[in-house]
Amino acid sequence: MKRCLCSLALVTIAVSLLAPRCLADDKATLKQDVYTVSLDLKFSRKNQNLLQSAISLLDWGPNGYATGFLVGDDLVMTAYHVVSGDLSVSKKIQLGFSPKDQLEVKVNINGCQATVLKADEAADLALLRICSSHKQTRTPAFQISLNKDEKLLLIARPHGDKMVGRGNFYGPYMFRGLQYWSAKIDARDGYSGSPVYNDRAELVGVFSGYDWPKKLAVISPGARAQKLLDDYHSNPTP
Evaluate whether 126 touches 137 at the Cβ level (below 8 Å). Answer: no
Contact 124, 192 (CB under 8 A): no
Exposure string over 64-89, b if 16+ CB within 10 A, otherwise e: bbbbbbbbbeebbbbbbbbbbbebee
Q: Which CATH superfamily is domain 26-129 in?
A: Trypsin-like serine proteases (2.40.10.10)
- The Cα–Cα gap between 126 and 120 comes to 6
Beta strands 36-45 and 64-72 are antiparallel
Residue 57's pLDDT is what? Answer: 52
List, in order, residues 6 or more apart from 110 with CB less than 8 Å away. Answer: 37, 130, 131, 133
92: left (phi over 0), alpha (psi -120 to 50) or beta: alpha
pLDDT of residue 167: 95
DSSP annotation string for 15-42: S-S--PPPPPP-HHHHHHGGGEEEEEEE
pLDDT tens per residue across all 238 residues of the chain: 345 566 655 554 333 333 333 444 466 555 788 899 999 999 888 876 555 554 555 556 788 899 999 999 899 999 999 999 888 888 888 888 889 889 999 999 988 999 999 999 999 999 999 987 666 677 889 998 899 999 999 999 998 889 999 999 999 999 888 999 999 998 888 899 999 999 889 999 999 999 999 999 999 999 999 999 999 999 876 6
Amino acid letter at 74?
D
pLDDT value, residue 9:
59
Q: What letter represents residue 15's amino acid?
A: V
Identical fold for domains 26-129 and 151-230, yes or no, is yes
Query: How far apart are the C-alpha atoms of 83 and 181, rounded to whole Å?
Result: 21
- Domain layout of the chain by residue ranges: 26-129, 151-230
Longest dimension (CA), the chain: 55
pLDDT of residue 236: 76
List all residues 6 or more positions away from 125 whose beta carbon is below 8 Å from its beta carbon: 77, 78, 79, 80, 119, 206, 220, 224, 225, 228
3-state helix, strand, coil in the chain (%, to 5): 20, 40, 45
**54/58 Cα distance (integer angstroms):** 7
CATH fold label, 151-230: Thrombin, subunit H (2.40.10)
By the 8 A CB rule, do 43 and 105 touch? Answer: yes
pLDDT at 124: 96
The pLDDT of residue 96 is 84
Closest CA to 106 of 38, 17, 179, 44: 44
At residue 179, the pLDDT reads: 94
